[in-house]
Chains A and B, each alone.
Chain A
């Protein structure tokens, strides 16, 4: 057996891996992106920019970075509080998306944590399950 006989095969596999990662606009959070575009982008927009003083941005938002542990609860049950995002007040209630399961919420968070130049943590479904035990439906009323 000669190690060099595996060299072409090794090169081949490496090349395929590199190509599949870089050439096709590699998007590691596909389900998260699809769910985001369906449930969240109507207000937060496809590019995470939000809408002026009505709906806060998610791209480059300090609130997103500073409230990582609350995100799962906010996504599932909504948010009725007035919040401060990048020095701007927002007080339109956000409705929850209760049809998303724990795994889907994890995927959405991982997408928004890494989309549009965001570089926040990668969350695991166990973390999300834990976070969700800390919140209940009656904490917020959602949008009217």
Chain B
């Protein structure tokens, strides 16, 4: 009898142990330190880095900045850098008939939209990369179904070359690929641009935990957009 008891307790322990280690962990990008053997992500006061290439011009450090642009949003309004003057904004690329990652990224963009809905310092812009199908009315229909305010979140289209050039500036992948589902290949990354047109953070729009961190980065940028040494 005691032999059975021994095996039963052993098996119980084994089963419980095998269940306890199921948690999946995704790596978080960016700044962290190891303190006392534990990973510690940088404090809320830390300044966000400026992403992208840097150059020295006339002895001065020059960071990567988003160049001038002009697109049309779901309300046929012209969207330029002026639209985002003194704002920080979140960017992604998508297309309305996207059968793959877009809806999941949009779900996360909606979390950001909902959190900063009443905060005029924050805007969102989604670039459609499908100039063939995504007309202004189609973007409008999509925006209506997402139930978003077009003053806050712009779904934009425009000149094809310019859209793809912009994606490069955001470090996002966007390309026409007949072999990809839906005809386009693109990344599900969202990026954060500051008041000075500099890219300050990014996250994988498919991973909610990364978007949690991304929103912390947004809060940090709203507190302090100065550039670290």
Write the residues of chain A forming the contact surface with B, with a CB cutoff of 8 angstroms.
8-9, 11-12, 15-16, 19-20, 23-25, 41-43, 45, 51-55, 92, 95, 143-144
Contact B100 A12 (CB under 8 A): no
Closest-by-CB residue of A relative to B182 is A143
Contact A15 B8 (CB under 8 A): yes
Contact A15 B101 (CB under 8 A): no
List chain A residues, Cβ under 8 A from B4.
8-9, 11-12
Interface residue count for B (Cβ, 8 Å)?
26
Contact B18 A92 (CB under 8 A): no
Extra 16 A-B pairs, beta carbons < 8 Å, given A45-B103, A52-B146: A8-B1, A11-B4, A12-B7, A19-B11, A23-B15, A23-B16, A23-B19, A24-B19, A42-B100, A42-B103, A42-B104, A51-B106, A51-B107, A53-B146, A143-B97, A143-B99
Contact A42 B99 (CB under 8 A): yes
Is B145 an interface residue, CB under 8 A from the partner? Answer: yes
Contact B147 A53 (CB under 8 A): yes
- The DSSP consensus for interface residues of chain A is mixed
List chain B residues, Cβ under 8 A from A45.
103-104, 107
A-B contacts, 15 of them at CB < 8 A, read: A8-B1, A11-B8, A12-B4, A12-B7, A20-B15, A23-B19, A41-B104, A43-B99, A43-B103, A52-B110, A52-B145, A52-B146, A52-B147, A92-B145, A143-B97
8 Å CB interface, B111-153 against A: 133, 142, 144-147
List chain B residues, Cβ under 8 A from A25.
19, 22
A22 to B60, CA, bound (A): 64
List chain B residues, Cβ under 8 A from A23.
15-16, 19
Contact of A54 among B15, B19, B101, B142 (CB under 8 A): B142
- The DSSP consensus for interface residues of chain B is helix
A8 to B1, CA, bound (A): 7
A11 to B8, CA, bound (A): 9
Is B12 an interface residue, CB under 8 A from the partner? Answer: yes
List chain A residues, Cβ under 8 A from B107.
45, 51
Closest-by-CB residue of B relative to A15 is B8
Least Cβ–Cβ distance between B6 and chain A, in angstroms: 11
Least Cβ–Cβ distance between A102 and chain B, in angstroms: 23
A92 to B145, CA, bound (A): 10
Contact B103 A55 (CB under 8 A): yes
A20 to B19, CA, bound (A): 10
Contact A42 B8 (CB under 8 A): no
Closest-by-CB residue of B relative to A53 is B145
Q: A23-B19, A24-B15, A144-B97 are in contact. Are A54 and B1 (CB under 8 A)?
A: no
8 Å CB interface, B1-41 against A: 1, 4, 7-8, 11-12, 15-16, 18-19, 22
Contact A24 B11 (CB under 8 A): no
